[in-house]
Amino acid sequence: MDYSRFRLPHLDAVPWRDYLLSILSGALLALSFPSPGISPLAWVAFVPLLLACARKSPGEAFRLGFISGLAAYAGILYWITIVVTAYGKLPWIVSIGVLSMLVSYLALYPAAVVYVVRRGEDRGISLLVSFPLLWVGLEYARAFLITGFPWASLGYSQYRTLPLIQIADVAGVYGLSFIIALANVVFFRIVRGFASREPAPYPVKSALFLLVLLIATVAYGFNRLHVPENGAPFKVALIQGNIDQNIKWDPEFQEETVAIYERLSRKACAAAPADLLVWPESAAPFYFQDEARYAARIKGLARELNTCTVFGSPAYEKSGESLKYLNSAFLLSPWGDVLGRSDKIHLVPFGEYVPMASFLPFVHKIVVGIGDFTPGAQVAALDTGKGKIGILVCFEGIFPELSRAYVRAGSRLLVNITNDAWFGRSSAPYQHLSMTVFRAVENRVPLVRAANTGITSIIDSKGHIRGMTPLFRESVLNGEVRLGEGETFYNRYGDIFAWGCLGGALIVAALAFTRRKS
């Protein structure tokens, strides 16, 4: 019997070796992010994919890029199943479906990159130009499309390599993404040159160009690392309450929750006086505006410890007959007065609200909470009396434009309050932390982070992680930072480099689809 008619022609056109190379690229990329965070792998992660795509048609390259993206983002974002199953209380099959949809969407980006790259190569556009521009351009677009999801941008894999990441104060995380993407092309051309056993002048020239670029980047980095921090000293005390997510919103545990934060706060301030005491997101699991008894206790604690206090609590606003719910942070003075409130601006889709809810009535939020939240109306820098602070609630810390806006509004310290309990004991809390390191470097201001179950940390304006707590343990973290100056090229001009890459990517795409090789 002839079985050939049952074969899939589009699969037979590509050797299985190339599919394996694509999967290998995805695996290397996933391993470069925390955890395990083997950052050098990012510099060669795309080499197997580029080898697989060489001399393939654009359509075949698209399939290989899609498979590589599936492998990469499944490895990076596997923890989505924990969120959906453990805290959304949905079956495993649903969690796998949610993960599959998200990963498939993200895999379209590397697929599109290699598709356009191959079309461009057929029309004489150098891979050295097309791949870095397309990768960074689409990486930047991903940060805004469909509410935006800039998780695991390529540059974040290097968050512990301090001399490299200092260029973030000029080009943001996308500057480092560009260099890594360029390095992958150079290494690919070197490997292909050796494999072909033919004279290859271009890999030598491109390797020298990459070497010069890296030397300049590292030299700039070491120079910035040796610039002293001249800001005023500012002492912080960060509290990690480790409140179980399954009981966090149960009214019966409100007393126990407040008592835990009172005890840990007294312990932290007894160890060292603080200019600012920070509790995590939703540390007060009730409406601070209405709950007079617990509100009085929190205000009394601020007076007792004689320190400004930041804590997360839901809030609401009435406008005529309508009622808006907000995920907020309050700042109290050392005298217990409310100095201000900062509302979360960038909400978590399907966690804090349902996008296009009127068109998706059958979709419910994954996370059980007070109700659908409304995004905050404006960026508010809150004044502690010793310096202004900008409060980033939860995953707002992964959006560079928000941190930049707070610093431009006068903040000289960024405060990230979050509840990463949703992630369980996965790599997600480490990935979340890694991205906030760049917010400090981009704006040259320190960032302190209080997380319900961890990781609570202190990050200085150069990206040093000065302290961090373990996961799922009651902890306090005391430290001193220097208030930042907030004057950087990036803070002034924003993602101008990324915009340039996006513009370059559009030009490459236009040439790839219209220009013909003579």
Identify whether the C-beta of residue 287 lies closer than 8 Å to the C-beta of residue 318. no
Structure confidence at residue 194 (pLDDT): 77
- Please report whether residue 501 resides in a domain: yes
Q: What is the pLDDT of residues 468-480, one digit of tens each?
A: 999 999 999 999 9
Q: pLDDT band for position 516 (50/70/90)?
A: low
Structure confidence at residue 202 (pLDDT): 59
Q: Which one of 53, 60, 248, 344 is the catalytic residue?
A: 344
Structure confidence at residue 2 (pLDDT): 46
Helix (H) or strand (E) holding 393: strand 388-393
Averaged over 382-405, what is the pLDDT? Answer: 96
**pLDDT of residue 430 exceeding 90:** yes
Q: In this structure, are 216 and 319 located in the same domain?
A: no
Q: Is 266 helix (H, G, I), strand (E, B) or coil?
A: helix
Query: 299 catalytic, yes or no?
Result: no
**pLDDT of residue 86 exceeding 50:** yes
Structure confidence at residue 209 (pLDDT): 94
| The pairing of beta strand 233-240 with beta strand 276-278 | parallel
Q: What is the CATH number of the domain that holds 427?
A: 3.60.110.10
Structure confidence at residue 44 (pLDDT): 98
Q: In this structure, are 55 and 188 located in the same domain?
A: yes
Averaged over 448-469, what is the pLDDT? Answer: 97
Q: C-alpha angle 109/115/119, rounded to 5°?
A: 145
Q: In this structure, are 55 and 201 located in the same domain?
A: yes
Calculate what percentage of the chain has a pLDDT beyond 70: 91
CA–CA separation, 320 vs 513, rounded Å?
54
Residue 214 belongs to domain spanning: 4-226+496-514
Q: In this structure, are 277 and 207 located in the same domain?
A: no
Q: In this structure, are 240 and 218 located in the same domain?
A: no
**pLDDT of residue 308 exceeding 80:** yes
**Domain count within the chain:** 2
Q: pLDDT band for position 3 (50/70/90)?
A: very low
CA-closest candidate to residue 310, choices 352, 278, 344, 346? 278
Q: Which residues of 208-231 are buried (b: 16+ CB within 10 A; e: fewer)?
A: eebeeeeeebeebbeebeeeeeeb
Average pLDDT, the chain: 91
Q: In this structure, are 197 and 261 located in the same domain?
A: no
Q: In this structure, are 398 and 259 located in the same domain?
A: yes
What is the Cα 339 distance to its own chain's centre?
29
Query: 394 catalytic, yes or no?
Result: yes
Q: Which of 109-123, 202-216, 346-360 has the highest mean pLDDT?
A: 109-123
CA–CA separation, 140 vs 150, rounded Å?
8
Q: In this structure, are 222 and 285 located in the same domain?
A: no
Q: Which one of 139, 281, 352, 442 is the catalytic residue?
A: 281
Q: Which one of 53, 269, 308, 394 is the catalytic residue?
A: 394
Query: 474 catalytic, yes or no?
Result: no
Averaged over 322-326, what is the pLDDT? Answer: 88
Amino acid at the residue 142: R
Calculate what percentage of the chain has a pLDDT beyond 90: 78
